[in-house]
């Protein structure tokens, strides 16, 4: 590991080394209205360098000041991140799904002086600038968009040299604001030392996953303001000289179109996307002639005994062709992986590596690359992490990737990082004798029943999700009213039925069918864990940008 005196020069030299080694290789690309727009490693470096020079010399940007980015994922996003590093800035990626009020609250907390913005969010950025006095400059990320006399990064002078700023490994590189910005904004401060430790640890994990020495074509579907995407999907994959493509649409048919066109080999995904993809494949299979369906089911069961992914790929060639023929695996993170979904893709010859992490750990803690292929585990901790299970079953972590703290929130920081440097994750877990971590729930989500029994919603959800009638489920504790148990918590399941059910059944029939099915499935749970209240919702549950269900909002919806 590097000592604390080393600076962000490692990240700067990383960019320069990759430019030298892969200068004409495509680094980043996206499909727009007029076809593919692709930037080579050399082009990315030059765009970042001239932007950084403009910040330093023309705007007189000072070392350590904040640079906010308000944009969808696109190649220019990466250039702006690198420009911020070269100029000695602290980068603040903003969540485009947040409201103006929430963004204003965040910007008031971190007070950036510069904001990079895509054309799509320019009007919002201009409104925010009126409210936030610290924002002196707005710079467009799109090419040749003349609006209100603003500058875009493409029209900057073709001057690529300046005195790049060095910052210590303890300096803040990123401030990542986690979802849920009501009240005081919670900005995770990530240092250059955190990033360097993460890059070193992830190198070992990625070497076990991707073909050694070969260029891999990736597809990015996660937002760049998410630290998992920023660190792994962007920083780590560029570090290996791979090519990363972005998509402007998250519709499965559009994503599959990109996968076929660019022969995508690997992805970073959230489990919800895999579930959606699995449902799409199953829908296609169900539309096939009966004999073909029987053959698929036969091969699917046979594949359980086939260790070779190459053979499985041949067995399910038509499915692989629909993915472009080159797709061989993905890392799933951001939420628990449904083991049945993981098993489906493994059976048809696509490797699923479940990862685990938090923004507070920069973010990856573990990736399950173990040959045992136990899908329920998130794997062993990365090299520089220590992990232990504290009293009550909470997972504690310690290591050089643990954040500096929450920006402007010393008391909140002290609540999660103790005096010995252990980060209290809030996750309930167990660690087996071989060091593999199994995440079983969240402390904050825990339901405490009248008799003191504790129920973790994730455990109940994993059972209900097996229902063929259920599209989405959120289990939470709600307060009873009336009777001897007035004010106590009960287990409530909020269910979104599959849309196609409404084509064949009435609302009353659907509710009855779901309740009967859940009652049957609940036999697998202890009596006290079974839902005593079932609420049916026709509307999709509210989610974060990484497709996590917002439990608090669900609770508010059903209490109205």
State yes or no: pLDDT of 487 exceeds 80.
no
State yes or no: pLDDT of 525 exceeds 60.
yes
pLDDT at 211: 84
Task: Output the CA angle 486-491-496, nearest 5 degrees.
Answer: 125
Mean pLDDT of 429-445: 92
Count Cβ atoms within 10 A of the Cβ of residue 205 and give its class: 0-12 exposed, 13-18 middle, 19 or more buried: buried
CA distance 243 to 331: 16
Which residues make up the CATH 3.30.300.30 domain(s) of the chain?
447-559
What is the CATH code for 249-442?
Answer: 3.40.50.12780
Q: HEC states along 483-494?
A: CCCCCCEEEEEE
The secondary structure of 145-198 as a DSSP string is: ---TT-EETTSS-S-----PPP-BTTSEEEEEEPS--SSS--EEEEEHHHHHHH
C-alpha distances (whole Å) from 15 to each of 220, 236, 442, 477 are 20, 11, 38, 49
Cis omega before residue 326 (within 30°)?
Answer: no
pLDDT at 4: 41
Q: What top-level class would CATH report for the domain 447-559? A: alpha beta
Count Cβ atoms within 10 A of the Cβ of residue 433 and give its class: 0-12 exposed, 13-18 middle, 19 or more buried: exposed
DSSP run (H or E) holding 227: helix 227-228
Of 132-146, 259-273, 399-413, 447-461, the poorest mean pLDDT is in 447-461
Count Cβ atoms within 10 A of the Cβ of residue 454 and give its class: 0-12 exposed, 13-18 middle, 19 or more buried: middle
pLDDT at 181: 42
Which residues make up the CATH 3.40.50.12780 domain(s) of the chain?
9-191, 249-442
pLDDT tens per residue, range 394-405: 999 999 999 999
State yes or no: pLDDT of 274 exceeds 50.
yes
pLDDT tens per residue, range 277-323: 998 999 899 999 999 999 999 999 999 999 999 999 999 999 999 99
pLDDT band at 10 (very low <50, low <70, confident <90, very high): low
CA 148 to chain centre: 35
pLDDT tens per residue, range 137-151: 999 998 877 677 899
pLDDT at 451: 67
Task: Judge contact between 326 and 215, C-beta under 8 A.
Answer: no
State yes or no: pLDDT of 71 exceeds 70.
yes
pLDDT at 506: 95
For the chain, percent of residues with pLDDT exceeding 70: 94
pLDDT band at 484 (very low <50, low <70, confident <90, very high): low
pLDDT at 548: 82
pLDDT band at 212 (very low <50, low <70, confident <90, very high): confident
Q: What is the pTM of this model?
A: 0.85
pLDDT at 173: 96
Find, among 223, 227, 225, 238, the residue nearest to 194 by Cα.
227
pLDDT band at 480 (very low <50, low <70, confident <90, very high): confident
pLDDT band at 482 (very low <50, low <70, confident <90, very high): low
CA distance 176 to 187: 5
Residue with tokens 């920006």, as numbered in its chain? 407
Beta strands in 179-327 (DSSP E): 187-191, 217-220, 243-246, 266-269
pLDDT tens per residue, range 50-60: 999 999 999 99
Of 47-51, 218-222, 433-437, 478-482, the poorest mean pLDDT is in 478-482
CA distance 140 to 148: 11
**To 10 degrees, the CA torsion angle through 383, 379, 338, 326?**
70
| Superfamily for the 9-191 domain | ANL, N-terminal domain (3.40.50.12780)
Of 175-189, 264-278, 465-479, 524-538, the poorest mean pLDDT is in 175-189
355 Rama sector, left if φ>0, alpha if ψ -120 to 50, beta otherwise: beta
């Amino acid at each position: 590991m590097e000592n604390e005196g080393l600076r962000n020069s490692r990240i700067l030299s990383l960019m320069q080394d990759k430019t030298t080694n892969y200068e004409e290789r495509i680094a980043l690309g996206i499909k727009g209205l007029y076809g593919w727009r692709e930037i080579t490693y050399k082009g990315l470096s030059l765009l970042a360098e001239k932007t950084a020079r403009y910040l330093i010399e023309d705007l007189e940007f000072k070392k350590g000041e904040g640079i906010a980015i308000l944009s969808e994922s696109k190649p220019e996003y990466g250039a702006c991140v690198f420009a911020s590093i070269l100029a000695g800035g602290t980068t603040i990626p903003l969540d485009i799904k947040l409201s103006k009020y929430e963004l204003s609250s965040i910007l008031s907390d971190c007070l950036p002086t510069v904001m990079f913005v895509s054309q799509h969010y320019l009007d919002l950025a201009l409104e925010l600038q009126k409210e936030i006095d610290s924002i002196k400059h707005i710079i467009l990320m799109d090419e040749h968009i003349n609006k209100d006399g603003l500058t875009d990064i493409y029209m900057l002078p073709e001057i690529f040299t300046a005195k790049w700023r060095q910052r210590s490994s303890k300096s803040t590189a990123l401030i990542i604001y986690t979802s849920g910005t009501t009240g005081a904004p919670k900005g995770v401060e990530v240092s250059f030392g955190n990033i360097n430790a993460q890059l070193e640890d992830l190198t070992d994990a990625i070497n076990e996953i991707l073909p050694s020495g070969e260029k891999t074509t990736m597809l990015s579907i996660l937002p760049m303001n998410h630290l998992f995407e920023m660190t792994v999907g962007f920083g780590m994959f560029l570090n290996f000289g791979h090519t990363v493509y972005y998509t402007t649409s998250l519709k499965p048919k559009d994503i599959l179109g990109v996968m076929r066109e660019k022969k995508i080999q690997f992805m970073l995904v959230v489990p919800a996307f895999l579930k959606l993809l699995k449902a799409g494949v199953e829908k296609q299979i169900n539309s096939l002639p009966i004999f073909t369906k029987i053959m698929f089911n036969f091969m699917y069961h046979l594949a359980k005994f086939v260790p070779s992914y190459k053979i499985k790929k041949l067995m399910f060639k038509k499915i692989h062709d629909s993915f472009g023929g080159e797709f061989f695996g993905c890392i799933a993170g951001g939420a628990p992986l449904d083991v049945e979904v993981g098993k489906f893709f493994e059976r048809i010859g696509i490797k699923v590596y479940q990862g685990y992490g938090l923004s507070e750990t920069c973010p990856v803690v573990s990736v399950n690359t173990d040959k045992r292929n136990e899908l329920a585990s998130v794997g062993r901790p990365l090299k520089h992490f220590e992990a232990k299970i504290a009293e009550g079953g909470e997972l504690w972590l310690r290591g050089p990737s643990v954040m500096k703290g929450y920006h402007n929130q010393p008391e909140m920081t002290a609540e999660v990082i103790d005096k010995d440097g252990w980060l209290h994750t809030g996750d309930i877990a167990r660690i087996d004798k071989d060091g593999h971590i199994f995440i079983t729930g969240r402390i904050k989500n825990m339901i405490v029943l009248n008799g003191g029994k504790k129920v973790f919603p994730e455990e109940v959800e994993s059972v209900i999700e097996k229902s063929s009638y259920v599209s989405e489920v959120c289990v939470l504790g709600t307060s009873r009213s009336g009777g001897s148990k007035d004010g106590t918590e009960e287990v409530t399941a909020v269910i979104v039925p599959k849309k196609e059910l409404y084509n064949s059944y009435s609302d009353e029939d659907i509710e009855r069918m779901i309740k009967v099915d859940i009652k049957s499935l609940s036999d697998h749970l202890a009596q006290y864990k079974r839902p005593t209240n079932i609420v049916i919702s026709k509307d999709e549950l509210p989610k974060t940008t990484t497709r996590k269900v917002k439990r608090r909002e669900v609770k508010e919806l059903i209490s109205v």
